[in-house]
Amino acid sequence: MNFVVWNVRGINKAPHQKELHNFISVNKLNFMGLLETKVKSFNALIISKKIRKDWKWCFNYDHHYNGRVWVGWNPSVWDVSIHSLSSQVITCTATFLEKNLSFLVSFVYAHNDAPDRVPLWNYCMNLSTTSLAWCLLGDFNCVTSLGEISGGREHWTPDMQVFKDFLAHCGLGSVRTVGDREASPINKRLDRMVSDGAWFNLFTKGNAFIKPRGLMDHNAIIF
């Protein structure tokens, strides 16, 4: 069982669509969250079908004109029902059919500005009482400490503490990560996967694998 989240920074161009299609095939993926597609709503169905025509897709255009979050899945492998969605997150109840294994997963693309992220933290705190195992993965556009920044002007900001407090309040911890993010002049750990205690109990050997960027600006994360 595996699934992925990837901030693709735009998939309107044919080479990016091809790379994404091949990435899914090579890694044998059947469930995916895509962030920052930069695809307009009238093109969403056309482009999503170019990526995987046999999948079902959910978009958040009703909450943001740019469709910041897409979720796609192969219905022969996964049963996915949309729990809720907003401009920054799509949350699904997902069942891996082969094992009849169900959990809650939130694909996150947080806003750039700290005040705009507050509704996301509040939304997730309401979800934290779920009885299902729960994970969140994606681009949180924030770090918890200066240790998650290398290069550039490093300085502490209040939103780091807000993010750290949010994770603690919800009982969320980082999933064990395998692989390295590719070096660049300025690195921030914006993309991550966090989970609650029930998730760690369910997937005692689960890993979040960091994959090469390819044509994209961010690394994909495969659980």
Residue 43 tokens, joined: 């093109």
**What whole-number distance in Å separates Cα of residue 77 and Cα of residue 189?**
31
Q: What is the CATH number of the domain that holds 69?
A: 3.60.10.10
Least reliable range by pLDDT among 117-121, 138-142, 180-184: 180-184
**Side-chain half-sphere CA neighbours of 214 within 13 A:** 17
Phi-psi region of 77 (alpha: psi -120 to 50; beta: other; left: phi over 0): alpha
Domain with 189, as residue range(s), is 4-222
Q: Residue type for 21, please?
A: H
**Side-chain half-sphere CA neighbours of 18 within 13 A:** 3
**What whole-number distance in Å separates Cα of residue 60 and Cα of residue 88?**
9
Q: In a 3-state reduction of DSSP, which class is residue 44?
A: helix
Mean predicted confidence (pLDDT) in 22-51: 96
**What is the average pLDDT value for the chain, to the nearest integer?**
92
**pLDDT for position 153:** 62
Which residue intervals of the chain are DSSP H helices? 14-26, 44-51, 114-127, 158-170, 197-202
Q: Identify which has the larger pLDDT, 182 or 190.
A: 190
**pLDDT for position 194:** 97
**pLDDT for position 186:** 45
CB atoms within 10 A of CB 66: 14
Confidence label for 116 from pLDDT (cuts 50, 70 and 90): very high
- Strand bridging mode 56-59 / 4-7: unpaired
Q: Say whether pLDDT at 156 is over 80.
A: no
Torsion of CA 22, 70, 213, 215, to 10 degrees: 70
Assess contact for 121 and 88: CB atoms under 8 A: no
Among residues 61, 116, 118, which one has the least CA distance to residue 86? 61
**pLDDT for position 19:** 93
Phi-psi region of 151 (alpha: psi -120 to 50; beta: other; left: phi over 0): left
Assess contact for 67 and 61: CB atoms under 8 A: yes
C-beta contacts of 150-157 below 8 A and 24+ residues apart: 150/186, 150/187, 151/184, 151/185, 151/186, 151/187, 152/185, 152/186, 157/114
Domain count, the chain: 1
